[in-house]
Amino acid sequence: MTMPLDTLADVTDEALLILYANGDGAAARSLTLRLTPRVLAYAARMLGDRAEAEDIAQEAMLRLWRIAAEWRQGEAKVSTWLYRVAANLCTDRLRRRRGVALDDAPEPEDGAPSVLQGMVEADRMRALDAALASLPERQRQAVVLRHIEGMSNPDIAEIMEIGVEAVESLTARGKRALAAALSGKRAALGYEDV
Amino acid sequence: MNDLDDLFALARAEEPSPALLAQVLADAEAVQAKPAPRRSHWRFLRVLLAGAGAFGGMATAALAGVWIGMAEPAPVAAVTEAFLPGTVDLLPTYDFLAEE
């Protein structure tokens, strides 16, 4: 399916949501193109599983469509609300997963030499996911929101319902732990050639 | 660690599949096609009057107005008499409300 470009690029998320609630089809397309990649990237890093992340992204977006008619203007940012929904859905998944055998979790392929750049990138993403998975959930959440989603600390504080200082502490500790977890894999990931 | 920033950039570049975008848009259109839930009139009135406090105050004032109109206590009766001498009692059957 081909998607038209986002022609409402200058319109805020909230204005688009109001337009959507009033039956505007272009607003639905703009919001889909604008928000689905963000919520998908977040869920993919939190869960380390693309298929599950797509489920979460679809469900979070569905909840956004449903709330549109009752959206209270000026109370919360649309993106913040959406990330909070996605965060809760991810937490539920992770909690359910903990009940399942841990052996089922995908293991990163260690040290497999890859010739094609695409394979190198896939290996790197697997390594990142494995390293993220080794972090405590709140640290992982803060690191993903800060460094992959590019959100500000006050926005992250709102999503995670904690103070800004706590966010700073979580991201700093998380990034250090991530760097430590990946440091042994630099050669395997092809970083020594760079 | 610059490698870490490189990995973050790689993660940011990940795109949703066309199938997922199509599904999300189909959900949007399906929800849009349903009639919006009706908002309750009470909720609308409360929002209009900026909160339950104002609403309660207005309700009390309205009830007090009705009571004063019906009972017409002496001070009010004096004012009414001054402005409208010889006023006709339109609701004589409610005089009992003024009795002590």
Write the pLDDT tens digit of every residue in B63-100. 888 887 777 777 777 777 777 766 566 666 666 666 65
3 state SS of B39? coil
Residue B68 CA to residue B55 CA, distance in Å, equals 20
Residue B20 scores a pLDDT above 90 = yes
CA dist list (Å): A77 to A12, A14, A65, A132:
10, 7, 15, 27
Residue B11 CA to residue A149 CA, distance in Å, equals 9
Segment among A52-56, A81-85, B35-39, B53-57 with least mean pLDDT: B35-39
Contact B24 A68 (CB under 8 A): no
Contact B8 A148 (CB under 8 A): yes
H helices present in A13-116, as ranges = 13-21, 25-47, 50-67, 78-99
Q: What is the pLDDT of residues A159-179, one digit of tens each?
A: 999 999 999 999 999 999 998
Q: What is the pLDDT of residue A28?
A: 94
Q: Which residues contact B69 (CB under 8 A, 6 or more apart)?
A: none
Local confidence band at A188 (pLDDT 50, 70, 90 cut-offs)? low
Q: Say how far residue A58 (Cα) sits from the centre of its chain.
A: 13
| Domain-wise residue ranges, chain B | 2-34+51-98
Give me A30's structure tokens: 């703009």
Mean pLDDT across A14-18: 94
Residue A181 CA to residue A192 CA, distance in Å, equals 16
Q: Quick check: A63 and A52 in contact, CB under 8 A?
A: no
Mean pLDDT taken over chain A = 85
Say which CATH topology domain A1-105 has: Rna Polymerase Sigma Factor; Chain: A (1.10.1740)
- Using CB atoms, pick whichever of B4, B24, B37 lies closest to residue A69: B37
Q: Quick check: A85 and A159 in contact, CB under 8 A?
A: no
Mean pLDDT across A39-68: 95
Residue B49 corresponds to which amino acid? L
Report whether CATH 1.20.1090.10 matches the domain A111-186. Answer: no
Q: Which residue has the higher pLDDT, A194 or B73?
A: B73
**Positive or negative, the Cα torsion across B24, A2, B15, A74?**
negative
| Residue B20: CB atoms within 10 Å | 21
Interface check B29 vs A, CB under 8 A: yes
Q: Which residues contact B80 (CB under 8 A, 6 or more apart)?
A: B72, B87
Q: What is the pLDDT of residues A92-132, one digit of tens each?
A: 998 887 776 444 545 444 444 444 556 677 888 888 898 99
Q: What is the pLDDT of residue A157?
A: 95
The enclosing H or E element of A124 equals helix A117-133
Residue B78 CA to residue A143 CA, distance in Å, equals 76
Residue A4 scores a pLDDT above 60 = no
Residue B93 corresponds to which amino acid? T
Contact A148 B31 (CB under 8 A): no
Q: What is the pLDDT of residue A149?
A: 92
Q: What is the pLDDT of residue A194?
A: 42
| Domain-wise residue ranges, chain A | 1-105, 111-186
H helices present in B13-85, as ranges = 18-33, 41-48, 52-71, 74-83
Residue A127 CA to residue A109 CA, distance in Å, equals 8
Question: Which residue in A has a C-alpha nearest to residue B24's C-alpha?
Answer: A58
Local confidence band at B14 (pLDDT 50, 70, 90 cut-offs)? confident
Give me B65's structure tokens: 């107005």
- Using CB atoms, pick whichever of A65, A125, A148 lies closest to residue B28: A65
Residue A122 corresponds to which amino acid? A
**How far away is chain B from the Cα of A53, in angstroms, using its nearest Cα?**
10
Closest CA to A18 of A70, A60, A59: A70
Q: What is the pLDDT of residue B42?
A: 63
Mean pLDDT across A33-52: 93
Q: What is the pLDDT of residues B35-48, one digit of tens each?
A: 655 556 666 566 56
Mean pLDDT across A128-152: 92
